[in-house]
């Protein structure tokens, strides 16, 4: 019994310690960000990597999500003779929930895992130590630009996700299932309010921060082996995804 309590205590101490290290990590990155020089080129490079290069997978996911949402929504709404509300059902689902969450999960899978692997390899091959020896702070050069890029890039991807998803819904609802085009777009326009868009933006900024924070942290403190790098990448993707879903619930409950 004492053994179990001891192990539980040790586990709790480790977790709390890890959370503390994670918090110090992100605070340190933001503190270095505030100090000159501003690495504008690095930030743009990361926005290109996280944002632009994730566009294809985000558009693909958004299109099919909107289409399946319209398909399901149409048959549910038809039972009540409310097919005209299909546009609002698709748009609100997209803007409030699916856009931020699914886009963030796709970015985690594509860019977040790559971030962890890149930083982890730099750690294992002593490239991060090399930065230190050149008196260049890795937090400022390597981590801070990724945090900024994700906070800028993810909301832009979510905006694309929302638009493509709503058009995907229109493709199925209007062009395939025969809902009136006017009714679809009118219902989108009347249902979506500024607070829905604002909530979506707030969520996507938070998710961008979560992805870059967790993935950079896991890469930066990866263990010095190929196995350690593999575990770090897996942990980064799993932890980011879980935090996105938990964060989505918390933010939704606060925003409603």
Is 33 an interacting residue with respect to another protein (CB under 8 A)?
A: no
Termini Cα distance of the chain = 45
What CA–CA distance (Å, rounded) separates 125 from 225?
10
**137 lies in the site for another protein, by CB under 8 A:** yes
Burial of 159 (0-12, 13-18, 19+ CB in 10 A): middle
Alpha-carbon gap, residue 224 to 148, rounded angstroms: 27
**CB contact at 8 A, 173 and 76:** no
Q: Which stretch binds another protein (CB under 8 A): 107-115, 126-134, 179-187, 240-248?
A: 126-134
Q: If we measure between CA atoms, which residue out of 244, 193, 236, 240 comes closest to residue 218? A: 236
Strand ranges (E), 131-253: none
Q: Which position among 22, 33, 109, 121 is part of the footprint of another protein (CB under 8 A)?
A: 121
Judged by CB under 8 A, which stretch of 117-125, 186-194, 231-239, 241-249 contacts another protein?
117-125
Q: Is 134 in the site for another protein (CB under 8 A)?
A: yes
227 binds another protein (CB under 8 A): no
In the shown chain, the binding pattern of residues 67 to 106 toward another protein, with x for contact by CB under 8 A and - for none, equals: ----------------------------------------
**195 burial via Cβ count (<10 Å: 0-12, 13-18, 19+):** exposed
Residue 121 or 209 with smaller CB distance to another protein: 121
Q: Is the preceding omega at residue 37 within 30 degrees of 0, hence cis?
A: yes
Number of residues engaging another protein in binding (CB under 8 A):
15
- Among residues 143, 144, 150, which one has the least CA distance to residue 205? 150
Task: Using the minimum distance from each CB to another protein, give the nearer residue, 58 or 119.
Answer: 119
Q: Interface with another protein by CB under 8 A: which range of 125-133, 204-212, 224-232, 246-254?
A: 125-133
Give the residue, chosen from 25, 64, 141, 221, that forms a contact with another protein under the rule CB under 8 A.
141
Closest CB to another protein among residues 35, 78: 35
Residues in the chain: 256
Nearer to another protein, 37 or 81 (CB): 37
Among 4, 135, 254, 256, binds another protein (CB under 8 A): 135
Q: Which residues bind another protein (CB under 8 A)?
A: 37, 121-122, 125-127, 129-130, 132-137, 141
């Amino acid at each position: 019994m004492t053994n179990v309590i001891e192990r539980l205590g040790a586990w709790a101490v480790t977790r709390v310690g890890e959370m503390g290290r994670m918090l110090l990590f992100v605070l340190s990155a933001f503190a270095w960000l505030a100090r000159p020089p501003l690495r504008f080129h690095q930030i743009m490079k990361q926005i290109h990597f996280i944002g632009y290069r994730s566009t294809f997978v985000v558009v693909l996911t958004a299109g099919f999500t909107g289409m399946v949402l319209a398909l399901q929504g149409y048959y549910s709404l038809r039972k009540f003779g409310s097919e005209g509300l299909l546009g609002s059902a698709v748009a609100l689902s997209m803007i409030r929930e699916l856009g931020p969450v699914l886009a963030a999960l796709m970015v985690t899978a594509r860019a977040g895992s790559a971030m962890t692997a890149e930083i982890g390899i730099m750690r294992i091959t002593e490239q991060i130590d090399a930065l230190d020896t050149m008196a260049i702070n890795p937090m400022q050069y390597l981590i801070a630009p990724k945090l900024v890029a994700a906070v800028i890039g993810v909301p832009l991807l979510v905006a694309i996700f929302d638009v493509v998803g709503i058009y995907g819904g229109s493709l199925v609802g209007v062009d395939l299932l025969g809902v009136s085009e006017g009714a679809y777009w009118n219902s989108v326009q009347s249902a979506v309010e500024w607070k829905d868009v604002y909530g979506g933006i707030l969520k996507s900024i938070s998710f961008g921060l979560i992805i870059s924070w967790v993935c950079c942290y896991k890469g930066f403190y990866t263990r010095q082996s190929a196995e350690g790098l593999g575990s770090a990448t897996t942990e980064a993707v799993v932890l980011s995804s879980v935090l996105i879903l938990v964060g989505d619930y918390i933010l939704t409950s606060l925003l409603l």
